[in-house]
Structure 1
Amino acid sequence: MDSINTSNQSISADEIALYDRQIRLWGVKAQEKLRSANILLITVKALANEVAKNLVLAGIGSLTIIDHEPVTEEDLGAQFFVSQENIGQNRAQAAGPQIRAMNPRVRLHIDTDNVRSKPPEFFAKFDVTIATELDFTLYTTINAACRIANRRFYAAGLHGFYGYVFSDLISHDFVIERSKPNVASPYQETPTRSIVQITTKKENNKVIEMVTKREVYTPLLLANTSPLPEDFTRLPRKRRQVTPLLSCLRGLWEFEKISGGRLPSESNAQDRASFIELATNALQELKLDISTLTSEALLKFLDNLRCELSPVAAFVGGSLAQDVINVLSAREQPLQNLLLFDGEKSVAPIYPLHPFFPPEVGNVLAAVAPVANPIPLEESAVVIL
C-alpha cells in the first residue's frame, strides 16, 4: 500500500484561512472533526471520483482508496482522475496523484488489493467506509464488519441515469439549533429518531435551543427486506408516487445474490425474465401498485446497467459526500437511509427502510451483542445457491 502523507497536527491558522468559507458555515469545531476523520473509499470509478473530490476539498484528515482493477477505455467516459495514458494501470494508483493535487494537506493512502481479501478487522481502522460499485453480498459483508467495529458504512452505485446511496450509521447523535418553540417537543419524533438532550442559550434577546437528536439505523441486509413506512403506502396517491427504482434495485440485488454477483444482461432473455420476476416480487413485498412498475421502466433500468454518466455521478457523489460531512461534524439531519436518484425525472426521494418489530422484540435485539466473524471477506462473500 502506497502512502502520501502530510502533517497530522491540529488545525492551523493556515487551514482556517484555507477553509474560511466552510468554517463560516459549520464552525471551527466541525472543521476540526473533519480534520481528524479517517475515511475508506472502495472502487475508484466515476462515483468515487466525485466523493473523493468533495471530501478532499472539505479537508478531511485521511483518505484511503482501494481498487485492484486496471483503468480501461470505458473508464475515460465519466471519470476525471484518469486519462488515456493511464489505461492498463491500477485505477487507485492512477487516480492518486490527481486526488493529492486537489488538497496536499489530506493524507492519502493507496491500496491495490482486492477488497474481498481484507479481513473484517481491516474496516475497524476507519471512521467511515464508503463502498461503491460492489455487488449486494459484498456490500452486506462489509456492512457487517463495520457494525462489529461500530463504524459508519455507506453503499452507493450508479446505473446510467440512476443512482443510489444507502447509509448505516448504527446510532448517530447530531445537534441542531432552533428558536425555542412554544410547545414542548415530543421525545420520540419518528420510529428511528429521538431527542436525547436540549440545552438553551440566549442570543440577541432570543432563546435558542441546542437540540441533540439520535438516529438509529438498520444494516443493509435487513433494510433490503423491510417494508415501506405506512406514510408511503396507506393512500393510493402516495403508493403511486413511490419510484419504480426501489423495486428495480431490490430486484437487481436479488439477482446478484442468486447469480453470485453478476449483473443481468439485457440481451439475455433468461436474465431479463429473471430480473423482471424478482423486481415484480419486490414490488408486491413493498405493497405497491403493480401499475407503477411498467415494462418500459423495467427494460429502461436494464438498459442503464454498466453505464456511468458524469452528471449523475456529480449529483449522487455530491449528496453522499455532503452527508458524510454532516455526519462527521455532527450537524444537520443525516440521510435515513436510502436515497434513489432518477436523472431522467430529476428527483431524489429518500426512503427510511427498517424492519417492524414489537417493542419487546426490539429490546431483546438491542441487548444481543454482535459476534466477531473471523472469516476473511473473500470466503464469507460466497453465495450459497
Structure 2
Amino acid sequence: MESQDQSISAEEIALYDRQIRLWGFKAQEKLRSANILLITFKALANEVAKNLVLAGIGSLTIIDDAIVTEEDLGAQFFLTQDSLGHNRAQAAAPAIRAMNPRVQLHVETENVATKPPDFFAQFDVTIATELDFSMCTTINAACRIAGRSFYAAGLHGFYGFVFADLIQHDFVIERAKSNIPSATQETPTRSIINITTKKENEKIIEMVTKREVYSPLLLANTSPLPEDFTRLPRRRKQVTPLLSCLRALWEFQKLSGGRIPTFHHHDLELFTKLSREVHQELKLDISTLDSAFLRNFLQNLGSELSPVAAFLGGSLAQDVINVLSAREQPLQNLLLFDGEKSVAPTYPLHPFFPPELVNAMPAVPPAPSAIPMNGHPGMGPL
C-alpha cells in the first residue's frame, strides 16, 4: 500500500477506508481535488452523481434548467412529490448533499447552451447527459480546446450509451513481470511509454504506464469499425444494430434541429433510411438490422428505466474514477448497452482509413464538385 498522504484526515480515511484499500491514498487525493460538471439531471445523471459523490470527489456542479414533472418521478430517486414545479437540479440538491456533506455541490439553473466555451475549462471532467448530438459536439469541442476530459451519455429505455473523449490519457497498471518483451504499440490508440519494476512478496511487479489517444465525438460518429469487427462474417453478425440506430438518431437530430423521431410516416421513413445507410457504411450485414429492432429502438426513445440507468451510470462513474486516479484501462471510446439482450459491447471508433482505402487514395484524382454543395447526393437540397 502507498505511503499515507497527510492531507487526508483520519476521518476521511475512516470514511473512505474500503476504496483507499482498493486504489490507494494518492488516487483518493486526486479524487478529492477533482471538479466535475454534470449536465442534465435525469435518471442517468442521478446514478452518476450518487457514485461520484459517495466516492468523495472534490466538487460537483450540476447544470439543468428543466422543471420537475410527473414523468421525472418515475425513475429519479433524488426527487419527491414535493419537487413538482421546482427546478430539477435544485430540487435534488438537498438529498445529494446529505449523501456526502464533504463534497462541494453547486447548482446552476441556466440552459447549458448559454455557457461560453471557456466555462468548461474550470472542470476536470465534463459529463453531458441526455443532450442532442449538436450540443454534445459543441461542448466536446470546448473541452478539447481547454484540454479537459469529456463524456457524453444517454438513456433510451432498454438502450443506452456512454462516449468518452479523454484527448490523451496516461494511466498505470500493475502486472507480474513477463519474460516476453512488451510491444510498444498495443493497439492503434494505445502505446506503452514507460515500464518500471518493484519487488513485492518475492515477486517482480511491473508498473506499466500506457497512453490512450482519443477522437472527438464528431469524428467518432463517422468513423469505421476496426477491421477486427468486420473481417469475419461471424464477428460482423455480433456487432449490435444499436450502433447503427444510435448513429442514425444523431444524424436525424442534425437534420431536424435536435428532436427525436416520432411515429409519423416521414420520420419513420427518414430514420429507417438513415439506419440502413449507416449499417452499410459500417460494412455490417443488412440482415442484422431488421424491422423488429428498429421498431423497438424507436419505441424506447426518450424513456427512462431505473435498472438501465443504474448500470450505465455506474459504469460511467467508475470510468471517471479510473481516469481521475490514472489507474486501470479507461473506456475507449463508445460503450453501448442493450438491456433486452443484456449485452454491453465497447467499440473503438476512430477516423482510421481501412487499408484498401489508403491504397486506393493515391490513384484517385480529386473530382471537382463531386458532391453537390446544397445537399446530400440523391437527396436534393437540405
Q: 1:135 is matched with which residue: 96, 119, 132?
A: 132
Q: In the alignment, does 2:83 pair up with 1:86?
A: yes
Q: In the alignment, does 2:18 pair up with 1:21?
A: yes
Q: What residue is the counterpart of 2:348 in the other structure?
A: 352
Q: What residue is the counterpart of 2:317 in the other structure?
A: 321
Q: How far 1:238 moved relative to its partner?
A: 0.2
Structure 1: how far apart are the matches of 2:7 and 2:276?
53
Is the Cα contact below 8 Å between 2:333 and 2:347 reproduced in 1?
yes
Q: In the alignment, does 2:156 pair up with 1:159?
A: yes
The residue matched to 2:302 in structure 1 has which SS? coil
Is the Cα contact below 8 Å between 2:35 and 2:123 reproduced in 1?
yes
Equivalence map 1:233-252=2 (5 Å)? 233-252=230-249
- Cα deviation 1:128-163 (Å, max 9, x = unaligned): 000000000000000000000000000000000001
Which one scores higher on RCO, CA 8 angstroms, separation ≥ 6?
1
What CA RMSD, in Å, does the superposition of the two structures yield over aligned residues? Answer: 1.4
Q: How far 1:206 moved relative to its partner?
A: 1.1
The residue matched to 1:41 in structure 2 has which SS? strand
Q: Quick one: which amino acid aligns to residue 220 of structure 1?
A: L
Q: In the alignment, does 2:284 pair up with 1:288?
A: yes
Structure 2: how far apart are the matches of 1:357 and 1:30?
37
Is the Cα contact below 8 Å between 2:252 and 2:260 reproduced in 1?
yes
Equivalence map 1:267-278=2 (5 Å)? 268-278=264-274
Q: Between Structure 1 and Structure 2, whose CA radius of gyration is higher?
A: 2
Q: Quick one: which amino acid aligns to residue 180 of structure 1?
A: K
- Cα deviation 1:258-309 (Å, max 9, x = unaligned): 001011012x111111111111111011000000000000011000011000
Q: What residue is the counterpart of 1:185 in the other structure?
A: 182
Gaps of 5+ in 2: 1-5, 359-380
Gaps of 5+ in 1: 1-8, 362-383
Q: What residue is the counterpart of 1:204 in the other structure?
A: 201
Q: Quick one: which amino acid aligns to residue 271 of structure 2?
A: F
Q: What residue is the counterpart of 2:30 in the other structure?
A: 33
Q: What residue is the counterpart of 1:311 in the other structure?
A: 307
Is the Cα contact below 8 Å between 2:280 and 2:286 reproduced in 1?
yes
- Cα deviation 1:323-365 (Å, max 9, x = unaligned): 0000000000000000000001111000000001599x9xxxx
Is the Cα contact below 8 Å between 1:11 and 1:35 reproduced in 2?
no
Normalized against structure 2, the TM-score is what?
0.91
- Cα deviation 1:81-112 (Å, max 9, x = unaligned): 11111111000100111111100000000000
Q: What residue is the counterpart of 2:227 in the other structure?
A: 230
Identity of aligned residues (%): 79
Q: How far 1:252 moved relative to its partner?
A: 0.3
Q: Quick one: which amino acid aligns to residue 89 of structure 2?
A: A
Structure 1: how far apart are the matches of 2:219 and 2:108?
30
Structure 2: how far apart are the matches of 1:297 and 1:358?
28
Q: In the alignment, does 2:338 pair up with 1:338?
A: no
Structure 2: how far apart are the matches of 1:296 and 1:135?
25
Equivalence map 1:39-54=2 (5 Å)? 39-54=36-51
Q: How far 1:11 moved relative to its partner?
A: 2.2
- Cα deviation 1:184-237 (Å, max 9, x = unaligned): 000000000000000001111111100000000000000000000000000000
Q: Quick one: which amino acid aligns to residue 239 of structure 2?
A: V
- Give aligned pairs, total: 353
Q: Quick one: which amino acid aligns to residue 12 of structure 1?
A: S
Q: 1:221 is matched with which residue: 202, 208, 218?
A: 218
Q: How far 1:10 moved relative to its partner?
A: 3.7
Q: Quick one: which amino acid aligns to residue 70 of structure 1?
A: I
Structure 2: how far apart are the matches of 1:105 and 1:11?
12
The residue matched to 2:223 in structure 1 has which SS? coil
Structure 1: how far apart are the matches of 2:81 and 2:152?
29
Normalized against structure 1, the TM-score is what?
0.90
Is the Cα contact below 8 Å between 2:279 and 2:285 reproduced in 1?
yes
Distance 1:301-1:358 versus aligned 2 partners, 3 A rule:
closer
Distance 1:251-1:34 versus aligned 2 partners, 3 A rule:
same
Structure 2: how far apart are the matches of 1:329 and 1:96?
26
Q: What residue is the counterpart of 2:367 in the other structure?
A: none
Structure 1: how far apart are the matches of 2:245 and 2:197?
46
Q: What residue is the counterpart of 2:293 in the other structure?
A: 297
Q: What residue is the counterpart of 2:368 in the other structure?
A: none
The residue matched to 2:171 in structure 1 has which SS? strand
Structure 1: how far apart are the matches of 2:63 and 2:80?
19
Q: How far 1:246 moved relative to its partner?
A: 0.1
Q: What residue is the counterpart of 2:366 in the other structure?
A: none
Structure 1: how far apart are the matches of 2:136 and 2:101?
30
Is the Cα contact below 8 Å between 1:161 and 1:342 reproduced in 2?
yes
Moved more, 126-135 or 84-93: 84-93
Is the Cα contact below 8 Å between 2:227 and 2:354 reproduced in 1?
no
The residue matched to 2:72 in structure 1 has which SS? helix
Q: What residue is the counterpart of 2:378 in the other structure?
A: none
- Cα deviation 1:60-85 (Å, max 9, x = unaligned): 00000000010011001100011111
